[in-house]
Amino acid sequence: MAHTAVAKKQSEPKMSRALVRQETIAGYLFLLPSLIFFIGFVIYPMVMCIFTSFFDSSMNRADVFIGLQNYVELFHDSVFLGALRNTLIIVVVSVPITCIFSLWVASAIVNMPPWATSLFRVIFYLPVVTGSVAVTVVWKWMFNNYYGIFNYLGKSMGLLDQNINWLGDTRYALACIILILLTTSVGQPIVLYVSALGNVDQSLVEAAEVDGATKLQAFWKIKWPQIMPTTLYILVITTINSFQCFALIQLLTSGGPNHSTDTIMYYIYYTAFKLYRYGYGNAMGVILAIMIAVLSAVQFKVTRSD
Amino acid sequence: MKKQVSAILAASMAASMLVACGGSTSSAATSTATAESTSTASSEAAPAESTADAGQAADITLWTYPIGKWGDSESVDALLADFNAQYPDIHVTVEYLDYTNGDDQVNTAIEGGSAPDIVMEGPERLVANWGAKGLMADLSDLWTDDQKADISASVEAACKDSSGAYYEFPLCMTAHCMAINKTVFEAAGAMQYVDAENHTWTTDNFLKAVQAVYDSGKTDVGAIYCSGQGGDQGTRAIINNMYGGTFTDAAHTKYTADSAENVKAIETLYNQDGINFDASINGGEEITLFRNGTLQMAFCWNIAQQTNADNSAAGTTNSGDDILFMAFPTESGDPALCGGIWGFGVFDNGDENKIAASKTFINFMANSDETAKAVKTSTYFSVKNSLSDLYKDDEVMNEYQKLMPYLGDYYQVTPGWAEARTAWWNMLQQVGQGTDVTTAVTEFCNTANAAASAS
């Protein structure tokens, strides 16, 4: 009996190692499909993108190595520089507005009765779950030069003398794009902020208020630090979404009028899939990725120091 | 830990930006599904008559753009059944492309070494694009003297390259035109400026008619649409025709839209009451606005629009106004209409047997007793003079046939075409925003000619 017990004790580590190995193998096997997919559809194209950006790469023609020429050309391309400017305008305007508006709405609805909070969450989240094409087409109707509701209301209220070609006029087109982008961007941040604010430790807030803190002080000193991770996430996601603004442009303006709504993502698409200049398009992709990475790093740095 | 996770997330998102622009092979991939049908008649139908080619045995693929009912599997299956009745050993698999994703699908297939055997489209793709890149098989042997005698010289010229190699055998064609709301024109007293019988008018009368409609209270008469390239042949045609300008030189080597005639036409349109350079709509949207009565004329029109009865009776607007198709106005009274020529090209996939079988298929569809049926399936007109009475029992088609002699130069085969098309609507947008016309068209020509030189 004692011999059996000793033998069992001795064999336990051996079985455990086998079990660990077995579980490890099983784990990797479970991981394998995702890994293959990730390598095949993310890592490989990413590497190819960087690699191809150093080539004059076009459809049906052998690639020619040209070093950094695509990158040099980029910074002499007035359309690209215009697209870069437009993209930055979209980011600079839409990201702060999205974050501030979302936080304001979330703060306003978080303390409402649960049914009211849910109702507002649904209302603000609807544009997110509605098909982007459908939403965009509706906006296109509303901005229509001839029968759009904005022109109708503007003229009815005496604000406009004549119809404005909202999407066909360089003075208004980009602003219209930003407005639409905002309406489709705020849903998710509001839901996240409502959740984050709901998780704030109320005892700390109440203690601060008992000690004489104002609402603003309670928010700034207690709630804000606690929702900082959520804010960071929203900042990063909104920034990336703003940089990636493409569908709106494709569906509404094709970059016009007169390139006034070109964004880098749209110009990448146009260059790569309309002109079939893959190398040049990939160089833009690399620049855009670097910009997003740098901006995200800055956001991390700033929010971390907070 | 949360920050580390967030950092990884951000890095992944940034990295995913790169994914959208991967290598040349993957980047052209498209997820758009294509309808596919395979002719199964071959195994069932007995050969109606045996010919010298009937012994060919091959599995070939046909990719067709939506050229009338050549984009409809039921119609194409009927044609294939007839084909297989005569050629039971040639199996044709059909894929139906659309104009949004079709080019990407074909180019992806070319890159992947799986190009179709036959593709049905026009010279701008078959000749100027894939033919120029050496991807197509020469179809000179299909262009017999009899065929050349039966097909107009301009159509023939569009189907071959400068070396004389034929990369398309044409089946059908149409002329793009414009249209007016006849009911509104009558109410405005503008029909006096229109030759309704011949569907023509002079530039002077066109401008008077626009002014008359505008003065009648219909302030949105027409739109030089320019939000994209959709329907851009209409804006090119109105501008080129008004004072006899051209889009390219006769040899199709350079773009000539900066001529004095074109500048005058653009300036005249820009200054004309009722004509709006609209960067928020394209050709399709212009048609919608014309059909719903917002605009009183459409520069993007053809027989398919004239016979369209989706929302109202054919030849009427949504509210029942009569639509009259018109040639573009000219000073000379001799319009040059942009045409569409559609036919077959064969990819040189290195398999002589498949190329031979493909040619057999083309001969059957475009040069046999079946041709009339194949042309009618396209809903357009035959390229052959011998089939000019194909629609003699159809009043509208017969009337539209009057425009066919006005078919102008098929300049869409000029090198750098893709860049030129984009530069064109961008140029119109610039004009619409107040840029000097001469400056804008000069910039257009510089861009387009640079692309032509680089091709």
Q: Which class for A216: exposed (0-12), middle (13-18), buried (19 or more C-beta within 10 A)?
A: exposed
Question: Does B2 fall in a domain?
Answer: no
* Percent of the residues in chain A that have a pLDDT greater than 70, as a whole number: 93
Residues B168-187, mean pLDDT to the nearest whole number = 96
Q: Do A300 and B17 touch (CB under 8 A)?
A: no
Q: How far is B11 from chain A (nearest CA, A)?
A: 7
* pLDDT per position as a tens digit, A188-236: 999 999 999 999 988 998 898 888 889 889 888 899 999 999 999 999 9
* Residue B150 lies in domain: 34-174+340-409
**Does residue B216 sit in the same domain as residue B351?**
no
B333 Cβ contact partners less than 8 Å away, ≥ 6 residues apart: B200, B202
Q: Do A167 and B280 touch (CB under 8 A)?
A: yes
Peptide bond preceding A257 in cis form (omega within 30 of 0): yes
Which chain A residue has its CA at the smallest distance from B228's CA?
A254
* pLDDT per position as a tens digit, A63-116: 889 999 999 999 999 999 999 999 999 999 999 999 999 999 999 999 899 999
Residues B95-101, mean pLDDT to the nearest whole number = 87
Q: Do A42 and B133 touch (CB under 8 A)?
A: no
Which residues in chain A are closer than 8 Å to B108, comparing Cβ atoms? none
Which residues in chain B are closer than 8 Å to A274, comparing Cβ atoms? 418, 422
Which residues in chain B are closer than 8 Å to A233, comparing Cβ atoms? 6, 9
| Helix, strand or coil, per DSSP, at residue B165 | coil
Sequence letter at residue A149: I
- In this prediction, residue A10 has a pLDDT band, given cuts at 50, 70 and 90, of low
| Helix, strand or coil, per DSSP, at residue B260 | helix
d(CA B300, CA B288): 10
Residues B222-241, mean pLDDT to the nearest whole number = 94
If one compares B139 and A303, the residue with the highest pLDDT of the two is B139
Which residues in chain B are closer than 8 Å to A144, comparing Cβ atoms? 280
d(CA A97, CA A179): 10
**Does residue B222 sit in the same domain as residue B136?**
no
d(CA B119, CA B168): 9
Helix, strand counts (H, E) of chain A: 16, 2
Of A49, A50, A147, the CB nearest to B294: A147
- In this prediction, residue B169 has a pLDDT band, given cuts at 50, 70 and 90, of very high
d(CA B452, CA B455): 5
- Best probe of the A interface among B21, B30, B296, by most A CBs < 10 A, is B21
pTM over 0.80: no
Asked if A58 and A278 count as a contact pair (C-beta separation under 8 A), the reply is: yes
Q: Measuring CA to CA, how many Å separate B299 from each of B152, B202, B224, B329?
A: 26, 15, 8, 11
Question: Does B17 fall in a domain?
Answer: no
B403 Cβ contact partners less than 8 Å away, ≥ 6 residues apart: B175, B177, B199, B325, B327, B337
Which chain A residue has its CA at the smallest distance from B25's CA?
A59
Which residues in chain A are closer than 8 Å to B278, comparing Cβ atoms? 145, 165, 168
Which chain A residue has its CA at the smallest distance from B29's CA?
A273
d(CA A288, CA A55): 18
| Helix, strand or coil, per DSSP, at residue B343 | strand
- Specify the range with the lowest mean pLDDT, choosing from B4-8, B288-292, B424-428: B4-8
**Does residue B304 sit in the same domain as residue B444?**
yes
Which residues in chain B are closer than 8 Å to A288, comparing Cβ atoms? 17
CATH class held by domain A72-305? mainly alpha
Beta bridge partners of B92: B60
**Does residue B222 sit in the same domain as residue B118?**
no
d(CA B417, CA A272): 16
Question: Does B15 fall in a domain?
Answer: no
Q: Which class for B147: exposed (0-12), middle (13-18), buried (19 or more C-beta within 10 A)?
A: middle
**Does residue B230 sit in the same domain as residue B107?**
no
First-last CA distance in chain A? 65
**Does residue B446 sit in the same domain as residue B299?**
yes
Of B28, B110, B280, the CB nearest to A165: B280
Q: Do B22 and A44 touch (CB under 8 A)?
A: yes
Number of domains in chain B: 2
**Does residue B108 sit in the same domain as residue B193?**
no
At which residue do the structure tokens 């709901």 appear? A198
pLDDT at B347: 96
Beta bridge partners of A58: A277
- In this prediction, residue A6 has a pLDDT band, given cuts at 50, 70 and 90, of low
Angle at which helix A78-110 crosses helix A114-129, to 10 degrees, equals 160
* pLDDT per position as a tens digit, A172-185: 999 999 999 999 89
Which chain B residue has its CA at the smallest distance from A41's CA?
B19
What ipTM was predicted for this assembly?
Answer: 0.71
pLDDT at B42: 34
pLDDT at A15: 64
CATH number of the CATH domain containing B233 = 3.40.190.10
Q: How far is B65 from chain A (nearest CA, A)?
A: 18
**Does residue B309 sit in the same domain as residue B447?**
yes
* pLDDT per position as a tens digit, B40-88: 333 333 333 434 444 478 999 999 999 989 999 999 999 999 999 999 9
Asked if B133 and A62 count as a contact pair (C-beta separation under 8 A), the reply is: no
Q: Do B14 and A292 touch (CB under 8 A)?
A: yes
Question: Does B4 fall in a domain?
Answer: no
Q: How far is A4 from chain B (nearest CA, A)?
A: 46
Of A60, A275, A281, the CB nearest to B135: A60
Of A61, A165, A288, the CB nearest to B278: A165
Q: Are strands A64-65 and A55-56 parallel, antiparallel or unpaired?
A: antiparallel
**Does residue B135 sit in the same domain as residue B163?**
yes
DSSP B65-121: ---GGGG-HHHHHHHHHHHHHH-TTEEEEEEE--TTTHHHHHHHHHHTT---SEEEE
Which residues in chain A are closer than 8 Å to B276, comparing Cβ atoms? 165
If one compares A26 and A273, the residue with the highest pLDDT of the two is A26
Question: Does B16 fall in a domain?
Answer: no
Q: Which of B202, B216, B139, B201 is nearest to B171 (CA)?
A: B139
b (16+ CB within 10 A) / e for B46-73: eeeeeeebbebebebbbbbbebbbbbee
> What is the domain partition of chain A in residue ranges?
2-52, 72-305
B322 Cβ contact partners less than 8 Å away, ≥ 6 residues apart: B181, B182, B183, B315, B316
**Does residue B49 sit in the same domain as residue B152?**
yes
Asked if A94 and A181 count as a contact pair (C-beta separation under 8 A), the reply is: yes
Of A146, A240, A286, the CB nearest to B220: A146
- Specify the range with the lowest mean pLDDT, choosing from A55-59, B129-133, B258-262, B301-305: A55-59
Q: Which class for B357: exposed (0-12), middle (13-18), buried (19 or more C-beta within 10 A)?
A: buried
Residues A234-244, mean pLDDT to the nearest whole number = 91
Cα angle A59, A60, A65; round to 5: 70
Helix (H) or strand (E) segment spanning residue A110: helix A78-110
What tokens does B173 get?
Answer: 């064609």
B101-110, B180-189, B328-337 — most confident range: B180-189
Q: How far is B10 from chain A (nearest CA, A)?
A: 7
Of B28, B227, B294, the CB nearest to A254: B227
- Best probe of the A interface among B5, B13, B17, by most A CBs < 10 A, is B17
Which residues in chain B are closer than 8 Å to A49, comparing Cβ atoms? 18-19, 21-23
What tokens does B116 get?
Answer: 């179709």
Question: Does B297 fall in a domain?
Answer: yes
pLDDT at B9: 40
* pLDDT per position as a tens digit, B398-421: 899 889 889 888 898 888 888 899
Q: How far is A41 from chain B (nearest CA, A)?
A: 7
Q: Do A57 and B24 touch (CB under 8 A)?
A: yes
d(CA B40, CA B78): 11
- Best probe of the B interface among A58, A59, A232, A259, by most B CBs < 10 A, is A59
Q: Do A240 and B13 touch (CB under 8 A)?
A: yes
Question: Does B53 fall in a domain?
Answer: yes
- In this prediction, residue A128 has a pLDDT band, given cuts at 50, 70 and 90, of confident
pLDDT at B34: 34
Q: How far is B84 from chain A (nearest CA, A)?
A: 34
pLDDT at B339: 86
Question: Does B23 fall in a domain?
Answer: no
CB pairs under 8 A between A and B: 166
- Best probe of the B interface among A34, A39, A44, A48, by most B CBs < 10 A, is A48
Helix (H) or strand (E) segment spanning residue B16: helix B2-19
- In this prediction, residue B353 has a pLDDT band, given cuts at 50, 70 and 90, of very high
The phi and psi torsions of A85 (rounded to 5 degrees) equal -60, -45
Q: Do B17 and A288 touch (CB under 8 A)?
A: yes
Helix (H) or strand (E) segment spanning residue B342: strand B339-346
